Amino acid sequence: MPQFTQIADRLATLEIEVPSWAYGNSGTRFKVFAQPGTPRTVQEKIADAAQVHKASGLAPAVALHIPWDKVDDYDGLTAFAADHGVRIGTINSNTFQDEDYKLGSLCNINAATRKKAVQHNLDCIDIMTATGSRDLKIWLADGTNYPGQDDIRSRQDRLAESLAEIYAGLGPDQRLVLEYKFFEPSFYTTDVPDWGTSLLHCLALGPKAYVCLDTGHHAPGTNIEFIVAQLLRQKRLGSFDFNSRFYADDDLIVGAADPFQLFRILYEVVRGGGLESPDVTLMLDQCHNIEPHIQGQLRSVLNVQEMLAKALLVDCDALAEAQAAGDVLGANGIFMDAFYTDVRADLADWRESRGLPRDPIATFIASGYQKGIEAERVGGQQAGWN
Ligand code: PSV
Ligand code: MN
């Protein structure tokens, strides 16, 4: 197995984008638990996100959700982020919260509603231009609840047309990233239910269209690392929305429920050249319903780093040899050796050698930042998931 020192530089290429909405209050349809110190503005969300980067060195970009993070002055917001040591990342469009979208947005049977949804995405591209963001991420709540409710095939045609109009608005260095989800809020059909559908639309659109893989958006038992390998082979994996799940789109801390799955996914990212490739954005898409927001985000980026270190430790030469020899259990053993290696002490040394805290979470707690925002942020409307 490689020594930790041999993977140190590759580990340093890891960058994770954090979602602005993770810093707001969130919950379930039963209850949203408000937390003291929760941001009231997008600036406060960015300031909190910057603490994650400061303590870990892992999170230099913050993804925004429009309209939740809409402001009048995007130059000012970009400068504000830079002053805090981070940049604006992916712009997530939102066509799922207006009354007009009850029967869908880009796939809606009503042309005026489709036009409105297309225009919203074009407005998001303007925000990308103003903030220097590269990616427009589209996730659609579109679909149907009952057989016969709408024509499945026509909805795909409308989707293709709407996406093409949005795609035409992209600048030369901008990209469209199409997220899929197999269910919710529509339950009979979903218009972009799987990676195959997303990929087909991306291929039809052109080279600036990529698939976004949200780890929570698959049926139980789905082999997600296979999808990662396949999309990387096709050079169409644009981004991840990392989170973890027990049941569905739980949006829990990545690597918390199944660290071995995260290890396997990151192994395929490394194997397919996705770690060093600028094409693949590693983003979190999480909500912290009961745990503190900033600490939850810190735990998340550290989980990704820890599983990435293990994935980089796989002895690829020995593995290839065992595979070529048809040594089934030998190959599996080599793979598992890397997963079972405890890298925590090496990671602490690695951080220290790069001027970062050995224990980012303890350092963040000791900094008093959380206590400070709890005292300062009183009054005003706390940001929520929406
Ligand atoms: C949908 O479930 C989703 O994963 C999309 O990425 C959204 O942008 C995100 O949640 C937050 O709404
Ligand atoms: Mn997502």
Q: Closest Cα to atom 9, ligand 1: which residue?
A: 285
Mean pLDDT score, 159-172: 99
In a domain, 347, yes or no: no
Residue nearest to atom 1 of ligand 1 (CA): 139
In DSSP terms, which residues pair with 64 in a beta bridge? 91
**Nearest CA to 267 among 303, 299, 313?**
313
Q: Are strands 189-190 and 143-144 parallel, antiparallel or unpaired?
A: antiparallel
CA–CA dist 68, 33 (Å, integer): 19
* Mean pLDDT of all residues in 271-277: 97
Determine the Cα–Cα distance for residues 208 and 216; give it in Å rounded to an integer.
24
Question: Looking at ligand 1, which residue's alpha carbon is closest to its atom 3?
Answer: 139
Complete DSSP assignment for 139-161: ----EESSTTSS-HHHHHHHHHH
The rounded Å distance from CA 242 to ligand 1 centre is 11
* 289: confidence class by pLDDT, cuts 50, 70, 90: very high
Residue 24: domain span: 14-313+359-376
Q: What is the C-alpha to C-alpha distance for residues 207 and 209, in angstroms, rounded to an integer?
A: 6
Ligand closest to the CA atom of residue 64: 1
The neighbour count for residue 4, using CB atoms within 10 Å, is 18
User: How far apart, in whole angstroms, are the C-alpha atoms of residue 170 and residue 149?
Assistant: 33
Residue 385's pLDDT band (boundaries 50, 70, 90)? Answer: confident
Ligand 1 atom 6: the closest Cα is on which residue?
Answer: 139
Percent of the chain having pLDDT more than 90?
Answer: 99
Domain CATH number, residue 260: 3.20.20.150
Q: Is residue 91 part of a domain?
A: yes
Ligand 1 centroid distance, CA of 345 (Å): 35
Distant-in-sequence, close-in-space partners of 305: CB < 8 Å, separation ≥ 6? 11, 14, 56, 58, 347
Q: For position 286, what pLDDT does the model report?
A: 98
- Give the mean model confidence (pLDDT) for residues 363-385: 96
Q: Which of 109, 172, 96, 174 is nearest to 135 (CA)?
A: 174
Peptide bond into 292 cis (omega under 30): no
Ligand nearest to the CA of 138: 1
The residue whose CA has the least distance to atom 11 of ligand 1 is 285
Q: What is each CA distance from 57 to 15, 75, 264, 304, in whole angstroms?
A: 8, 24, 23, 13
Residue 35 has which token pair? 């937390």
Task: Specify the 3-state DSSP secondary structure of 252.
Answer: strand
pLDDT digits (tens, 9 = 90+) for 24-81: 999 999 999 999 999 999 999 999 999 999 999 999 999 999 999 999 999 999 999 9
Query: Residues near 148 by Cβ (< 8 Å), separated by ≥ 6?
Result: none
Which residue's CA is the nearest one to ligand 1's atom 7? Answer: 139
> Does residue 346 form part of some domain?
no
Ligand sitting nearest the alpha carbon of 192: 1
Opening angle at CA 228, ends 7 and 296, nearest 5: 70
Q: What is the pLDDT of residue 17?
A: 98
Residue 14 CA to residue 72 CA, distance in Å, equals 32
* Residue 232 in domain: yes
> Is 333 a member of any domain?
no
Count of H helices and E strands in the chain? 14, 10
Probe target for ligand 1 pocket from 139, 181, 191, with the most ligand atoms within 8 Å of CB: 139
- What's the domain count of the chain? 1
What span, in angstroms and rounded, lies between the C-alpha atoms of 93 and 105? 12
Residue 192 Cα to ligand 2 middle (Å): 13
Does 17 sit in the ligand 1 pocket, CB within 6 Å?
no
In tens, the pLDDT along 210-261 reads 999 999 999 999 999 999 999 999 999 999 999 999 999 999 999 999 999 9
Cα 86 to ligand 2 centroid, rounded to whole Å: 21
Query: For ligand 1, what atom is nearest to the CA of residue 21?
Result: 11
In a domain, 250, yes or no: yes
Mean model confidence pLDDT for the chain: 98
Report the C-alpha gap between 100 and 210 in whole angstroms: 27
Predicted local confidence at residue 78, as pLDDT: 98
**Does ligand 1 lie within 6 Å of residue 249's CB atom?**
yes
How confident is the model at residue 386, as a pLDDT? 67
Residue 96 lies in a domain: yes
Q: Is 194 in the pocket of ligand 1 (CB under 6 A)?
A: no
pLDDT confidence bin for 206, thresholds 50/70/90: very high
* Domain-located, residue 352: no
Distance 214 CA to ligand 1 centre (A): 8
